Structure 1
Amino acid sequence: MHTLLSRVNNASAFMSSCMMTLLAAIAISSFFLGSQPTGEVGISPVKVFAAKGRRHYSGKQDAAFVNFNVTADLAPLFHWNTKQLFVSLEAEYTNMHGVQNTVVIWDKIIRRKQDAQLHIEGGKNKYAFREVSTSFKDVSPASYALKYNLMPYVGVLQYGEIARTSDDVPFPEAQAKVAS
């Protein structure tokens, strides 16, 4: 009647269908498991320096330095389908040409629920915060947001915002020149 090869083919097709159904159920259930994390972001006054760059495209480019305080409880985001969290502090502002910019100034990867409590005082930007148009002069004040990206074992990535500064932080005039 049926050969051994056709029986193996039917069994493997049935098992793969069951596996795909199980994975789809896991991915759909992940949307209902997590709850909203809580947190606060505080920004000290920003310092801006007129830096001399050695880049071929620009002779001068302002650099901003940000000190921040972050407190967040990310434990509600961890459940059985959470692989890791990517947390970032972003500055959002509009430059003098009217272009909306979002710059990541600090980030962290959290892999365990035990490490999901963030308490950072006096943190400094991890990445260079430079204005592409070379100057922070006439740039609108920036708002700062603590955001997350939940990476599940199965399913789609989930994005969200944990906290945002209540007031926008202005950029002061550039200070002394600093070599980069």
Structure 2
Amino acid sequence: MHSIFSRINNISAFLSSCTMALLACVALSSFLFTADPKGTLSISPVKVFPSKTNRYPRRIQEMGFVNFNISADLTPLFHWNTKQLFLYLEAEYQNAQGVNNTVVIWDRIVRRPEDAVINFVGKNKYAFREISSSFKKVPSSYYSLKYNVMPHVGVLTYGEAARTIEPVDFVWEEHV
């Protein structure tokens, strides 16, 4: 004869197994929804200004300021398993030593499909600095608008919505 506790244990084990199987089906079905959103990205030439850093007050480091225009429709990425999107703008360039660098200069979190149509004109949100303190030997840079789909259940997926075809040049400005 079974006690009440063993019956509760059997029922809860069965329900948790059913829940896990349902979550596994949800995670696997997310791979059926493949969307390829497209957008446009236009970047004006990057203005470079000399500035002093807070960490090393005697050291002058160059800061890059990027003005950009983003327009993208990311609504195809939203389906019943999408919790939110993480959208970010990356700058890719090669420094004087030949090292490829990738820097995130702007980001946004999109939580609703109504907010997934992006039309944004702005400038970089984060500091754009070269670690060698000078952009002098960096000829140009490429930019890409990337996204990260965060599901309720399952694996994070990454993608690219827009990319600059032509390299964007650096323009040195006098400090005002």
C-alpha separation in 2, matches of 1:58 and 1:35: 50
Residue 173 of structure 2 aligns to which amino acid in structure 1? Q
Residue 105 of structure 1 aligns to which amino acid in structure 2? I
| Structure 2 SS opposite 1:151 | strand
Residue 80 of structure 1 aligns to which amino acid in structure 2? W
Q: Give the CA deviation at 1:25.
A: 0.4
Q: Which runs of 4+ in 1 moved over 6 A?
A: none
C-alpha separation in 1, matches of 2:57 and 2:145: 31
Q: 1:131 to 1:57 in 2, by over 3 A?
A: farther
Q: Is residue 2:115 matched to residue 1:115?
A: yes
| Structure 2 SS opposite 1:132 | coil
Structure 1 unaligned residues grouped into runs of 5+: none
Residue 29 of structure 2 aligns to which amino acid in structure 1? S
Preserved CA contact (<8 Å) 1:146 1:162: yes
1:16-70 Cα deviation digits (max 9, x unpaired): 1100000000011112124111101111111111112232387111000111111
Q: 1:57 to 1:149 in 2, by over 3 A?
A: farther
Q: Is residue 2:173 matched to residue 1:175?
A: yes
Report what 2:165 is aligned to.
Answer: 166
| Structure 2 SS opposite 1:139 | coil
Residue 107 of structure 1 aligns to which amino acid in structure 2? D
List aligned pairs for 1:125-140, cutoff 5 A.
Answer: 125-140=124-139
C-alpha separation in 1, matches of 2:144 and 2:82: 22
C-alpha separation in 2, matches of 1:15 and 1:86: 33
- Tell me the TM-score normalized by structure 1: 0.92
Report what 1:98 is aligned to.
Answer: 98
Q: 1:98 to 1:161 in 2, by over 3 A?
A: same
Report what 1:150 is aligned to.
Answer: 149
Report what 1:56 is aligned to.
Answer: 56
List aligned pairs for 1:39-50, cutoff 5 A.
Answer: 39-50=39-50
- Tell me the TM-score normalized by structure 2: 0.94
Report what 1:89 is aligned to.
Answer: 89
1:70-92 Cα deviation digits (max 9, x unpaired): 11000000011111111011101
Preserved CA contact (<8 Å) 1:84 1:110: yes
Q: Give the CA deviation at 1:100.
A: 1.4
